[in-house]
Structure 1
Amino acid sequence: MNSAQVDAYLHRLGVAHPAWPTVEVLRELHLRHLRTVPFENLSIHLGEEIVLEEKRLLDKVVVGRRGGFCYELNGAFGALLAALGFDVDLLAGRVYGDEGRLGIPYDHLALRVRTVDGGEWLADVGFGAHSHYPLAFEERGEQRDPGGTFRIVESGPDAAGALGGGGSAGAGDLDVLRDGKREYRLETRPRVLGDFTAGAWWHSTSSASHFTRSLVCSRVTEDGGRITLSGRALTVTAPDGTKEVRELETDEEVLGVYRERFGVELGRVPTVRGRNGAD
């Protein structure tokens, strides 16, 4: 990233250029990203190509003021952090699904970040409902966060099997838990952005991917809750977990919510494309 791209990204997040890549700076950037850049899969249903190249991601997130899913959001955020002087590794994960089964390889992209004042952190602005702040990567006890109580634990050989199957753990693999439930299994070997191309293609084309079967646009709200638009269903979740759901009736209303509540300007209402691509 060049300095102009860094400045534009920080301007979108509403933060000044930090002096040093510290833990507190990382925490602020992480929360601001979750509040500002939505987790969304609209490109899949608008017929837009998803390309995992740094410039294309920055054009979408910064210039186009859009969001994305894990590969795009954490890919762009990782590039910003590296440009600001953080030491960043891209890590591959597999998400726990129904009955504790693990998803495909390169199912998820998360970040391991090192700061100048010490420690390693798991940063993840691309999982939807997750921690509001980075998690201490080497901590194995409970970590309390506005998004829940998290733990990072070693993945034993029977971790997935005990939950219904889904694949054995590799050496050094970690499981990330939220409120006692396993969310994803994380490899600790560093990857490059291009490694995730097949996973992004599968999630954007396969009828077996939940991203091709539904629409989502979601972000953390300023009070620590969450707002989500799924198709025409608008859900506002308060910090205490209570939800208010209403159905939007007109296309104009849907486009207005995208624009006013998510900062996403669309020319038409996206609709689920149904079965497309490989199974």
Structure 2
Amino acid sequence: MSINKLYISALILMAIAPLSSAAKVPYHSEAAQTKAVIFAPGVVSTDAFEINTVFNKTGDKVLFARCTNDFKRCTMMESKFENDQWQIPKALPFSGGYLEADPYYNEDYSAIYFVSKRPIDEGGKETKNVNLWRAELTNGKWQSPEYLAHLSSKENDLYPSITSNGDLYYPSFRNNERKMYLAKKNGDSFDAPVALPTDMFGDNAKIGDSVVLPDGNTIIFSMRRADSLGKGDLYISKKINGKWTLAKSLGEKVNTKDHEFTPIVSPDGNYLFFTRIENGVGNLYQIALTAL
């Protein structure tokens, strides 16, 4: 095993060790123990353009987005695991008609944060860029989404993720830059977002969707850099002694000549889920982190 692979393995093991569980969950896959495989083919993963895969705490409900091939519209969907199989997905009751995607549960699974181009004001026009929204889940029913004005900008704000203590991380293209932002939880809201150091990305890197693991000390990036195999690869960085390490590629079991993005780690910490664009269409994949 190369030094780089040893490094990646160490980062992953440090990240998932507190979360691992021996019990099989609905998204368990024997095939994914050694390689990346399509998730729930024919039901969740279809011939349509699908992106990101996020689960509720028990793993028996999955949220994702199904998009038009031109990526102008995305609808957030939910599939339930019943009778030992994933069921035909249904659109979330408030989603449809706009580009909205990237759902991510908050720390107690009582709400999701997501991005959308839906009108900010009732009766208004859809926005030029995607920004941050929140929808609460109350007694099993989704409530009307709330626009998060103090976290959003006039540019694209992407792919929110939340740590176990409630801090919110997300990439943003504000100020003609691509940076990762942290908005620390403050009661029922958040402090103003602060940009993280960019040296973790490497030279001339262009980051996209990036997920922070619950411990707040590990980030998996979708990023294009000089060492990328394709249009976008997945990388990992770890915060050690308060400083983020230079992001390392997750390797050829994940990254290809195509475009890999929307990384998500399963609630039990055992699987990486991601999207791969192949022949112009997004497909949902999973792989056991121990395979990396």
TM-score calculated relative to the size of structure 2:
0.30
Q: Identify, as 1 or 2, the structure richer in helix.
A: 1
Structure having the larger proportion of residues in strand: 2
